[in-house]
Chain A
């Protein structure tokens, strides 16, 4: 019975969020709560000589000021969670800088005080003496070997090779090759809520409760318990509301150790909330990547090979997310195309900048931009229509499942599970009016040059092997559903109630969903890598089935006749052929009287192939070459995410992702000067899209190919809307300005930068 799955049900959580009754971490007040402030390095690279904290410590209202020396013996490095590379353990961060500072914003000391205002007053009295070292800010500087950020390692770089087929052979004999360098700028997720946590130590029970957990609460519980030297079961990570995550919230950061540690030491609850200025330098950065990319084609435009060298700036330390971004960039470079021969040198370097982690579609946003740009260039060179060249290279439905090869070092070979890339592509062409727009492609109309661009992608989902759900019957006959997924706005409380309601045949209002804290479910995992629809969705479905069986067994027990035929309808078991019925409320009371409870936890194990969503973006732009202004006249994103659980939520995710992508393409930049100072550290300089900037966006879903690898047939959603944006826009602008010989190779394409590009091209032509 599927009434709710796939329906555009308005969200359950909206009622409290609209009233201002969300529970974000800064909303929390605990009795006796103190406030922490972090003193951070304002030098990018140097040896710590002295941290002077005495004046700060004397300020009335300050309970303590702590440096690495005060926490000596307790500062363990923050571990890698995923995608570690050899030797990455040598580049880990300790929660406070011990002997060196390695980026502006690195925590050096922590103040605990009665109010956040006093904590900041105290922090402003701390001073740090540093023997400055020259900062490493580029690959070239990293490779030079004059300076090592992590001296014991003797290096600043890391790399590996991945590939399939035999690219070198193909390049030697190809009809056509082209080589380009592309780059994406440093930018990041910038959720509207900054990070924060409240830590509460219960000395009697010796338990540590941390509020504000999200993304991977169980892994963080493990990390924290190890760092605090407590049993895992003594640490409770509480999940509440979070104001956007996009990958950067919820990884384990220095403050996630420091605040709980001090809460225990001082035996008082402590709250720490990051302010926006800190956020710029303390929360993971992303995306800074360049790529030397070569394409080889035959005369019909069949892409025979790609050769790539990817270089990613990881910042000063290896974060919990390890080498995910560079690895995924390498993995997703070939995209939805057959490209039988591919080799990629995947490189990363450490630099004296804020550490880099994962931000929505990590590595994919970059890879799709690089590849889709060179495909357009090849199409123009070969005089083949840009759409047609793509058609000739898509992996086709009858090649599914398609082995894409082992394109990361830490995962086995992957397969595209299902998909009809060509059909979806045709839909996108129709939506953007591709054929008709060829009449203005590259033409000037009223001073504006018009261009249409395309970009295609595949996107993996459902990362991680397992997820749990827990369902319990409450005394009034309603259902508590606990899911391992964590929400930062994706509507989990609604979506999973839909799946559960369909299996149980209950109305939605009978099901209360909670994204589980670590004491509410045995072994949840979390939300990342577009996994929740597949992993939590299937966990819910499976657990609900088991739960229904338990209900049935309880009903049989209630009726006292083991062979009785029971029918189940709308929350009531009825005995066939009689009037006997039992409601869930009565059943719950019956169980309670026997001191029993129906409380089922089940684990969904995703043993089969991982799902790959896929899609096409198309953009129509108009460019004013005098100012570099680009008007986005139309933007279409079509995606196949398999079974759609709630189309309202799916569209919202896609639209939000598109605009984030457009921000990365046009507006957002994290810029360091030559001293390693972050010069864009407020919203006056880091420009986010507003409601006026990109009104003409359209997101659409098709369901051409449900995922065969999981019962729900879902493919994972949330990141697909963003990953191909840059390719579509870069291609559209380049097509618009083809007559001016402008090629977009670097992001962002802000008006000043595009103007420079246009000017350069004109100068080169002269």
Chain B
């Protein structure tokens, strides 16, 4: 029983595939679906570069097997932009120079996006706590925090 057929939805598009049970979600996304925006930094759940959104929650895709997302919805960085237009969060990252090499960026975008959808009222300290599970070696984090703070108002629901 080490090969399984899974039906999953990634960025709104169904993907039916046969996968080995030990194939991680990160590898499934990157190599089976060729969605290489999700990056692998450590494969032991610490660096957060592989963070994607499963059923609305930001999770480490190196710690989930592809078989586990059978019947579930997955969102990756490729699903953030609306066609050719960058999402407000992505635009804020660019404006604030919140990325340099870009390797940790998709994980941070997903973490922030998932969190802000549930908690748009956010403070800088809370942002730092939120992304403390995403390691960036290039930026020193200051501008990432600024970018997320600046993008947060876009997530407030208009009532």
- Using a CB–CB cutoff of 8 Å, the interface residues on chain A facing chain B are 10-11, 13-15, 17-22, 24, 26-27, 29, 117, 189-194, 241-244, 246, 275-276, 488-491, 648-649, 651-653, 655-660, 682-684, 688-692, 694-695, 697
Query: Can you offer 29 A-B residue contacts whose CB atoms are under 8 A?
Result: A18-B99, A18-B109, A19-B80, A19-B90, A26-B36, A27-B30, A29-B34, A117-B20, A189-B137, A190-B137, A192-B39, A192-B49, A192-B101, A241-B102, A244-B101, A276-B42, A489-B101, A489-B102, A490-B100, A491-B100, A652-B139, A682-B42, A682-B44, A683-B47, A689-B141, A690-B133, A691-B131, A691-B141, A692-B128
The answer to whether A26 and B35 touch across the interface, beta carbons within 8 angstroms, is: no
The answer to whether A488 and B106 touch across the interface, beta carbons within 8 angstroms, is: no
Q: Which residues of A sit under 8 angstroms from B133, Cβ to Cβ?
A: 690
Docked Cα-Cα span, A21 to B80, in Å, equals 12
The answer to whether A489 and B78 touch across the interface, beta carbons within 8 angstroms, is: no
Q: Which residues of B sit under 8 angstroms from A18, Cβ to Cβ?
A: 77, 81, 86, 90, 93-94, 99, 102, 105, 109
Given A192-B135, A683-B44; 6 other pairs, CB 8 A cutoff = A18-B105, A189-B137, A192-B103, A192-B137, A656-B139, A682-B42
Chief secondary structure at chain B's binding surface: loop
Docked Cα-Cα span, A455 to B2, in Å, equals 59
Docked Cα-Cα span, A659 to B137, in Å, equals 8
Q: Which residues of B sit under 8 angstroms from A659, Cβ to Cβ?
A: 139-141
Chief secondary structure at chain A's binding surface: loop
Docked Cα-Cα span, A655 to B23, in Å, equals 37
Q: Which residues of A sit under 8 angstroms from B129, Cβ to Cβ?
A: 691-692
Closest to A684 in B: B46
Task: Please tell me if B41 contacts chain A, counting CB pairs below 8 Å.
Answer: yes
Looking at the complex, which of B53-61, B64-72, B142-150 is the stretch in contact with chain A?
B142-150
* Min C-beta distance of A54 to chain B, whole Å: 25
* Min C-beta distance of A365 to chain B, whole Å: 16
Closest to B95 in A: A10
- A20 contacts which of B76, B93, B95, B143 (Cβ < 8 Å)? B76
Q: Mark B118-155, 1 if CB is under 8 A from A, else 0.
A: 00000010011101111111111111110000000000
Task: Please tell me if B156 contacts chain A, counting CB pairs below 8 Å.
Answer: no
- A660 contacts which of B42, B90, B105, B137 (Cβ < 8 Å)? B137
- B102 contacts which of A17, A276, A684, A694 (Cβ < 8 Å)? A17
Task: Please tell me if B22 contacts chain A, counting CB pairs below 8 Å.
Answer: yes
- A691 contacts which of B40, B86, B144 (Cβ < 8 Å)? B144
* Min C-beta distance of B113 to chain A, whole Å: 12
Task: Please tell me if B51 contacts chain A, counting CB pairs below 8 Å.
Answer: no
- B128 contacts which of A13, A29, A190, A691 (Cβ < 8 Å)? A691
Q: 4 closest A-B pairs (Cβ-Cβ)?
A: A20-B37, A489-B101, A243-B103, A17-B102
The answer to whether B35 and A20 touch across the interface, beta carbons within 8 angstroms, is: yes
The answer to whether A242 and B101 touch across the interface, beta carbons within 8 angstroms, is: yes
* Chain B CB within 10 A, most for which of A17, A21, A193, A658: A17
